[in-house]
Amino acid sequence: MRTVASPLSEEAFHGIASRITNGIYEPGARISDKALAEEFGISRTPVREAMQRLERIGLVEMRPSRFTVVTEITPEMVRATWEFTGLYAGNILHLSLPRLSDAEREQAVALTAAAIDKISTPAGWLQGLIGLFGFLTERTDNELYRSLLGDSWYLILRNLVRTGISDERREAMLGALAVLSDAIAAADSEAAERAARGIFGAV
Protein backbone atom coordinates (compact mmCIF):
# COMPACT_ATOMS: atom_id res chain seq x y z
CA MET A 1 0.00 0.00 0.00
CA ARG A 2 1.30 3.43 -0.89
CA THR A 3 2.18 5.88 1.83
CA VAL A 4 -0.24 8.67 2.65
CA ALA A 5 0.39 11.64 0.36
CA SER A 6 0.92 15.14 1.68
CA PRO A 7 -1.97 17.59 1.11
CA LEU A 8 0.07 19.51 -1.48
CA SER A 9 1.05 16.34 -3.32
CA GLU A 10 -2.56 15.16 -3.22
CA GLU A 11 -3.75 18.47 -4.69
CA ALA A 12 -1.14 18.30 -7.46
CA PHE A 13 -1.98 14.68 -8.25
CA HIS A 14 -5.70 15.31 -8.70
CA GLY A 15 -5.10 18.53 -10.60
CA ILE A 16 -2.72 16.96 -13.12
CA ALA A 17 -4.74 13.73 -13.42
CA SER A 18 -7.91 15.70 -14.15
CA ARG A 19 -6.16 17.63 -16.91
CA ILE A 20 -4.97 14.41 -18.51
CA THR A 21 -8.39 12.77 -18.20
CA ASN A 22 -10.14 15.80 -19.69
CA GLY A 23 -7.72 16.03 -22.61
CA ILE A 24 -6.07 19.30 -21.59
CA TYR A 25 -2.80 17.37 -21.61
CA GLU A 26 -2.94 15.19 -24.73
CA PRO A 27 -1.06 11.89 -25.11
CA GLY A 28 2.58 12.65 -25.86
CA ALA A 29 2.44 16.12 -24.28
CA ARG A 30 5.36 17.17 -22.09
CA ILE A 31 4.59 18.27 -18.54
CA SER A 32 6.95 20.59 -16.69
CA ASP A 33 7.11 20.09 -12.94
CA LYS A 34 8.73 23.51 -12.63
CA ALA A 35 5.88 25.24 -14.50
CA LEU A 36 3.25 23.34 -12.50
CA ALA A 37 4.94 24.19 -9.21
CA GLU A 38 4.82 27.87 -10.15
CA GLU A 39 1.20 27.63 -11.28
CA PHE A 40 0.06 25.81 -8.12
CA GLY A 41 2.19 28.04 -5.90
CA ILE A 42 4.02 25.13 -4.30
CA SER A 43 7.53 23.69 -4.36
CA ARG A 44 8.62 21.15 -6.96
CA THR A 45 8.81 18.33 -4.39
CA PRO A 46 5.05 17.68 -4.08
CA VAL A 47 4.70 18.02 -7.85
CA ARG A 48 7.37 15.36 -8.38
CA GLU A 49 5.63 13.14 -5.81
CA ALA A 50 2.40 13.57 -7.77
CA MET A 51 4.20 12.72 -11.03
CA GLN A 52 5.60 9.53 -9.50
CA ARG A 53 2.10 8.51 -8.42
CA LEU A 54 0.76 9.28 -11.90
CA GLU A 55 3.52 7.15 -13.39
CA ARG A 56 2.59 4.22 -11.14
CA ILE A 57 -0.95 4.15 -12.54
CA GLY A 58 0.26 4.59 -16.12
CA LEU A 59 -0.83 8.12 -17.00
CA VAL A 60 2.65 9.58 -17.43
CA GLU A 61 6.18 8.44 -18.09
CA MET A 62 9.09 10.16 -16.37
CA ARG A 63 12.06 10.22 -18.72
CA PRO A 64 15.70 10.01 -17.57
CA SER A 65 16.31 13.46 -19.07
CA ARG A 66 14.06 14.80 -16.29
CA PHE A 67 10.96 15.62 -18.26
CA THR A 68 7.60 13.92 -18.09
CA VAL A 69 5.28 12.94 -20.95
CA VAL A 70 1.63 11.84 -20.99
CA THR A 71 1.41 8.21 -22.08
CA GLU A 72 -0.12 7.23 -25.41
CA ILE A 73 -3.40 5.30 -25.53
CA THR A 74 -2.33 2.17 -27.37
CA PRO A 75 -4.63 -0.71 -28.38
CA GLU A 76 -2.81 -2.88 -25.85
CA MET A 77 -3.41 -0.33 -23.10
CA VAL A 78 -7.11 -0.18 -23.96
CA ARG A 79 -7.36 -3.99 -23.90
CA ALA A 80 -5.55 -4.15 -20.58
CA THR A 81 -7.80 -1.43 -19.14
CA TRP A 82 -10.97 -3.33 -20.04
CA GLU A 83 -9.54 -6.53 -18.58
CA PHE A 84 -8.28 -4.88 -15.39
CA THR A 85 -11.57 -3.05 -14.82
CA GLY A 86 -13.63 -6.20 -15.30
CA LEU A 87 -11.58 -8.24 -12.85
CA TYR A 88 -11.55 -5.35 -10.40
CA ALA A 89 -15.33 -4.93 -10.67
CA GLY A 90 -15.88 -8.62 -10.00
CA ASN A 91 -13.77 -8.46 -6.85
CA ILE A 92 -15.70 -5.42 -5.65
CA LEU A 93 -18.99 -7.35 -5.89
CA HIS A 94 -17.45 -10.39 -4.24
CA LEU A 95 -16.44 -8.30 -1.22
CA SER A 96 -19.30 -5.82 -0.97
CA LEU A 97 -22.50 -7.74 -1.68
CA PRO A 98 -22.43 -9.96 1.45
CA ARG A 99 -21.95 -6.81 3.54
CA LEU A 100 -24.84 -4.78 2.13
CA SER A 101 -27.91 -4.11 4.24
CA ASP A 102 -31.34 -4.55 2.64
CA ALA A 103 -31.56 -0.78 2.11
CA GLU A 104 -28.08 -0.68 0.55
CA ARG A 105 -28.96 -3.56 -1.76
CA GLU A 106 -32.01 -1.60 -2.94
CA GLN A 107 -29.79 1.42 -3.54
CA ALA A 108 -27.33 -0.69 -5.53
CA VAL A 109 -30.20 -1.96 -7.69
CA ALA A 110 -31.30 1.64 -8.27
CA LEU A 111 -27.75 2.63 -9.25
CA THR A 112 -27.64 -0.31 -11.66
CA ALA A 113 -30.86 0.96 -13.25
CA ALA A 114 -29.32 4.43 -13.52
CA ALA A 115 -26.25 2.94 -15.24
CA ILE A 116 -28.55 1.17 -17.72
CA ASP A 117 -30.33 4.46 -18.47
CA LYS A 118 -27.00 6.18 -19.18
CA ILE A 119 -25.53 3.43 -21.32
CA SER A 120 -26.54 5.04 -24.61
CA THR A 121 -24.80 8.39 -24.02
CA PRO A 122 -21.22 8.90 -25.28
CA ALA A 123 -19.60 9.53 -21.89
CA GLY A 124 -22.52 8.87 -19.55
CA TRP A 125 -22.13 5.09 -19.78
CA LEU A 126 -18.90 5.20 -17.80
CA GLN A 127 -20.14 7.84 -15.36
CA GLY A 128 -23.09 5.56 -14.57
CA LEU A 129 -20.76 2.65 -13.89
CA ILE A 130 -18.54 4.83 -11.71
CA GLY A 131 -21.58 5.78 -9.64
CA LEU A 132 -22.49 2.11 -9.15
CA PHE A 133 -19.02 0.73 -8.46
CA GLY A 134 -18.00 3.73 -6.39
CA PHE A 135 -20.97 3.05 -4.10
CA LEU A 136 -20.09 -0.65 -3.86
CA THR A 137 -16.39 -0.01 -3.29
CA GLU A 138 -17.20 2.12 -0.25
CA ARG A 139 -18.98 -0.95 1.16
CA THR A 140 -16.19 -3.48 0.65
CA ASP A 141 -14.84 -2.60 4.10
CA ASN A 142 -11.41 -2.66 2.44
CA GLU A 143 -9.32 0.51 2.55
CA LEU A 144 -6.88 -0.76 -0.09
CA TYR A 145 -9.68 -1.12 -2.64
CA ARG A 146 -10.94 2.37 -1.86
CA SER A 147 -7.44 3.80 -2.26
CA LEU A 148 -6.76 1.98 -5.53
CA LEU A 149 -10.11 2.95 -7.00
CA GLY A 150 -9.50 6.62 -6.34
CA ASP A 151 -6.27 6.54 -8.35
CA SER A 152 -7.19 4.03 -11.03
CA TRP A 153 -10.42 5.67 -12.20
CA TYR A 154 -8.37 8.47 -13.74
CA LEU A 155 -6.61 5.97 -15.99
CA ILE A 156 -9.84 4.09 -16.73
CA LEU A 157 -11.65 7.31 -17.60
CA ARG A 158 -8.87 8.55 -19.87
CA ASN A 159 -8.43 5.25 -21.70
CA LEU A 160 -12.06 4.20 -22.11
CA VAL A 161 -13.95 7.47 -22.57
CA ARG A 162 -11.61 8.71 -25.25
CA THR A 163 -11.71 5.44 -27.21
CA GLY A 164 -15.45 4.90 -26.81
CA ILE A 165 -17.41 1.64 -27.03
CA SER A 166 -18.87 -0.26 -29.96
CA ASP A 167 -22.59 -0.98 -30.36
CA GLU A 168 -21.83 -4.66 -29.79
CA ARG A 169 -20.07 -3.96 -26.50
CA ARG A 170 -22.87 -1.61 -25.46
CA GLU A 171 -25.45 -4.38 -25.97
CA ALA A 172 -23.30 -6.82 -23.99
CA MET A 173 -23.08 -4.27 -21.17
CA LEU A 174 -26.85 -3.88 -21.08
CA GLY A 175 -27.31 -7.63 -20.77
CA ALA A 176 -24.67 -7.95 -18.05
CA LEU A 177 -26.14 -5.03 -16.08
CA ALA A 178 -29.59 -6.62 -16.16
CA VAL A 179 -28.12 -9.86 -14.80
CA LEU A 180 -26.19 -7.90 -12.18
CA SER A 181 -29.34 -6.14 -11.01
CA ASP A 182 -31.11 -9.47 -10.44
CA ALA A 183 -28.07 -10.94 -8.69
CA ILE A 184 -27.77 -7.96 -6.34
CA ALA A 185 -31.48 -8.13 -5.50
CA ALA A 186 -31.10 -11.85 -4.74
CA ALA A 187 -27.84 -11.30 -2.79
CA ASP A 188 -26.19 -13.87 -5.08
CA SER A 189 -22.49 -12.99 -4.80
CA GLU A 190 -21.23 -15.52 -7.36
CA ALA A 191 -23.71 -14.45 -10.05
CA ALA A 192 -23.05 -10.77 -9.27
CA GLU A 193 -19.30 -11.25 -9.59
CA ARG A 194 -19.67 -12.96 -12.98
CA ALA A 195 -22.04 -10.26 -14.21
CA ALA A 196 -19.74 -7.46 -13.04
CA ARG A 197 -16.86 -8.98 -14.99
CA GLY A 198 -19.12 -9.43 -17.99
CA ILE A 199 -19.93 -5.72 -18.06
CA PHE A 200 -16.32 -5.07 -19.04
CA GLY A 201 -15.86 -8.19 -21.16
CA ALA A 202 -13.71 -10.02 -18.61
CA VAL A 203 -14.30 -13.68 -17.81
Asked whether residue 93 is assigned to any structural domain, the reply reads: yes
Shared domain check, 80 and 65? no
Shared domain check, 146 and 58? no
Shared domain check, 30 and 15? yes
Task: Indicate yes or no: pTM above 0.85.
Answer: no
Asked whether residue 17 is assigned to any structural domain, the reply reads: yes
- Which pLDDT belongs to residue 20? 92
Shared domain check, 164 and 112? yes
Asked whether residue 2 is assigned to any structural domain, the reply reads: no
Q: Which long-range contacts (CB under 8 A, 24 or more apart) does 156-160 make?
A: 156/81, 156/84, 156/85, 156/126, 157/21, 157/126, 157/130, 158/20, 158/21, 158/59, 158/73, 159/73, 159/77, 159/78, 159/81, 160/78, 160/81, 160/82, 160/85, 160/126
CATH number at residue 20: 1.10.10.10
Q: What percent of the chain has pLDDT over 70?
A: 95
Q: Which residues of the chain have pLDDT under 70?
A: 1-5, 123, 203
- Which pLDDT belongs to residue 123? 67
Shared domain check, 115 and 61? no
Asked whether residue 1 is assigned to any structural domain, the reply reads: no
Q: What is the Cα–Cα distance from 114 to 62, expressed in whole angstroms? A: 39
**Average model confidence (pLDDT) across the chain:** 89
Asked whether residue 195 is assigned to any structural domain, the reply reads: yes
Domain residue limits at 88: 75-199
Number of domains observed in the structure of the chain? 2
Shared domain check, 135 and 49? no
- Which pLDDT belongs to residue 63? 84
